Amino acid sequence: MLTERSKALQCLSSLQFILWELHLYLDTHQDDCEAMARHKKYTEEYTAMRADFEEKYGPLSAATGSGCAWLANPWPWDTEECVK
Amino acid sequence: MFQYEKKLQYPVRIKTPNPKYAQIIISQYGGPDGELGASLRYLSQRFSMPFAELKGLLTDIGTEELGHLEMIGAIVYQLTRNLSPEEIKKSGFDTYFVDHTTGVYPVAASGMPFTATYLQSKGDVITDLHEDLAAEQKARTTYDNILRLVDDPDVRDPIKFLREREIVHYQRFGEGLRLTTDRLNEKNFYAFNPSFDKQCLNRQQAQNRAKS
């Protein structure tokens, strides 16, 4: 059974993956306006979803948190079940 | 600079440890066609890339490979949790265990430690991109072989994801190569090295512009 945090992280990661695929594609297709527009649209969605996630579950990057919030388990290689 | 994101690119959740699988999969951590070699290859080659698209592409793919290294580390870590000495002996993991316990160390499945001889940075864009295309296919074959040896769906799932990424990267490198040859002498792509012979490149680009 996935925890609420795992489910939320999975949604966020899926959206981030779409963005990343578009980003790589745009490296070799910088004139593709449709892909660029899609990238912009998903960036907005991702930014909002990420802010929600971090508010609820703590920072995902060293730039957005320090100390106990940053150090809190789980770390990415731990499944949440094995930390508990 | 680089900044860490506290998440995997794709989730790794393995319920059943299996040291035999760990010993095979560690090859994609520190083996000849593994993720460490891939990231070092692209992140080193990018300095001598002559065009902005290629500087971006090698930076981005090299960075993604570091994320894949982390995923392979997580797979090996989760496959070697809570092992008994009997399980370690029976599985053949004992030859790794004696040197590293269950720490994650960059090594091939054969036991050969990671070496920079697995990669090249040649300072020639055509040469380097061909190495990169080959590297992606070699990694894809290694993932195919892992999928032939591993039954557990929890392990197969992230391995399949990583295999697909090799194919996408191959596609992007192919486009990078095309962008490169489009800017060179169409009768002889090897007339000069655009990463080194900058004056020749400038002359060629002026000629190409005049033609179009």
Number of domains within chain A = 1
The residue with tokens 């440890």 is: B17
- Residue A84 has a pLDDT of 43
ipTM for the complex shown: 0.94
Per domain, the residue ranges of chain B are: 19-211
Whether A84 is covered by a domain: the verdict is no
Residues 6 or more apart whose Cβ sits within 8 Å of residue B132: B41, B42, B45, B58, B169, B173
Whether A51 is covered by a domain: the verdict is yes
Taking the C-alpha atoms of residue A73 and residue A79, their distance in angstroms, rounded to an integer, is 10
B80-124 pLDDT, tens digit per residue, is 999 999 999 999 999 999 999 999 999 999 999 999 999 999 999
- Residue B212 has a pLDDT of 83
Residue B72 pLDDT > 80: yes
Whether A71 is covered by a domain: the verdict is yes
Q: Who has greater pLDDT, A64 or B182?
A: B182
- Residue A79 has a pLDDT of 82
Residue A24 pLDDT > 80: yes
Whether A1 is covered by a domain: the verdict is no
B49-64 pLDDT, tens digit per residue, is 999 999 999 999 999 9
Whether omega for the bond prior to residue B11 falls within 30 degrees of 0, making it cis, is no
Residues 6 or more apart whose Cβ sits within 8 Å of residue A41: none
Taking an 8 Å cut-off on Cβ atoms, the answer to whether B172 and A25 are in contact is yes
Whether A3 is covered by a domain: the verdict is no
* Tokens standing for residue B201: 């490149």
Q: Are B132 and B51 in contact (CB under 8 A)?
A: no
Q: How many CB pairs under 8 A join A and B?
A: 68
Interface test with A, best of B1, B6, B12 (most A CBs within 10 A): B6
Residues of A with CB under 8 A from a CB of B: 6, 9-10, 12-13, 17, 20-21, 23-25, 27-30, 59-63, 70, 75-77, 79, 82
**Helix residue spans in chain B (DSSP H):** 19-25, 27-30, 35-45, 52-79, 85-91, 94-100, 125-149, 153-182, 198-211
Taking the C-alpha atoms of residue A32 and residue A14, their distance in angstroms, rounded to an integer, is 22
Q: Percentage of chain B with pLDDT > 70?
A: 100
Average pLDDT over residues B15-38: 98
Residue A83 pLDDT > 70: no
Q: Give B143's pLDDT tier (boundaries 50, 70, 90).
A: very high
Centre a 10 Å sphere on the Cβ of residue B147 and count the other Cβ atoms it contains: 14
Whether A53 is covered by a domain: the verdict is yes
User: Please, what is the average pLDDT of chain B?
Assistant: 97
Q: Which fold has domain B19-211?
A: Ferritin (1.20.1260)
Give the DSSP letter of residue B61. H
For B146, phi and psi rounded to 5 degrees? -60, -40
**Residue A22 host element (H or E):** helix A4-28
